[in-house]
Amino acid sequence: MGIKKTSDSKEEKDGTTAEKAFETSEINEKTEETKSDKKTDKIKDRMSEELKKAQEELSSEKEKYLRMLAEYDNFRKRSQKERESTYSDVRADTVTRFLPVYDNLERALKTETADEAYRRGVEMTLTQFKETIEKLGVSEIEAGSGTKFDPEIHNAVMHVEDENFGEGIITEEFQKGFKLGDKVIRCSIVKVAN
C-alpha cells in the first residue's frame, strides 16, 4: 500500500500541477487578453485621433476650396464686367472721333447747292453713317425746338428771352448730342429760353 500512496500522491501532485498549470495558463491568457485589450484600446484611440485629425484637415481643405471657388467666380464676373466696360469705352471713343465727320455732313446738307447729285450723295453718306452708329448702339439725343432742357444731356451755350417758349425750353439746337446706351458720349449744344 505504500506504493499506492506514492502513486496516489504522485497523481495528486500531477493533478495539482495540472491545476496549477491550467490556472497559470488561464492567468496568462487573461493577462494576454488584458494586454491585447490595452493594445486594441491604444490602437482605437490612436485611430480615433488620426480620424479626427483627418476630418479636421478635410474640413480645412474644403473651406479653402470653397473660398478659392468663390474668389475665382468673383474674378470671372469682374473680368467679364471689365471686358464689357472696355468694349463700351472703346466704342464710345471711336464714335466720338467720327462725330465731327457727322457734323460736317450735316453742315454740307444745310448749304445751298445747285448740284442735286452732290446733295443726294451727301444725304446717302449721312444716312449710312447714322445707320452704322445705330448698329453700334449709338442714338441721337432729343434736343429739337420745344424740348425741355436737361442739364445731364444738354449743354446750354445761350439763353434768350422768348415769349413763344416757356422757361427751360430749348429754342434751337446748334450741335447734335449722342448716347451709347444710357451713357452720354456728347451733350447736345443748345439755346434755351428764360
Does 139-193 match 33-136 at the fold level?
Answer: no
Q: Which of 179, 175, 172 is nearest to 189 (CA)?
A: 175
pLDDT of residue 37: 78
33-136, what's its fold?
Hemagglutinin Ectodomain; Chain B (3.90.20)
What is the spatial distance between Cα 97 and Cα 43, in angstroms, rounded to a whole number? Answer: 79
State pTM to two decimals.
0.61
pLDDT of residue 99: 95
- Residue 177, classed as helix, strand or coil, is coil
**Domain coordinates of the chain in residue numbers?**
33-136, 139-193
What is the spatial distance between Cα 144 and Cα 123, in angstroms, rounded to a whole number? Answer: 20
pLDDT of residue 1: 47
What is the spatial distance between Cα 141 and Cα 55, in angstroms, rounded to a whole number? Answer: 63
In CATH terms, the superfamily for domain 139-193 is: Head domain of nucleotide exchange factor GrpE (2.30.22.10)
What are phi and psi for residue 151, nearest 5 degrees?
-65, -15
pLDDT of residue 36: 72
Give, for all 194 residues of the chain, the pLDDT tens digit: 444 455 555 555 555 666 666 666 666 666 666 777 788 888 999 999 999 999 999 999 999 999 999 999 999 999 999 999 998 899 999 999 999 999 999 999 999 988 999 999 999 999 999 999 999 999 999 998 889 999 999 999 999 998 888 889 999 999 999 999 899 999 999 999 98
3-class secondary structure per residue, 82-116: HHHHHHHHHHHHHHHHHHHHHHHHHHHHHCCCCCH
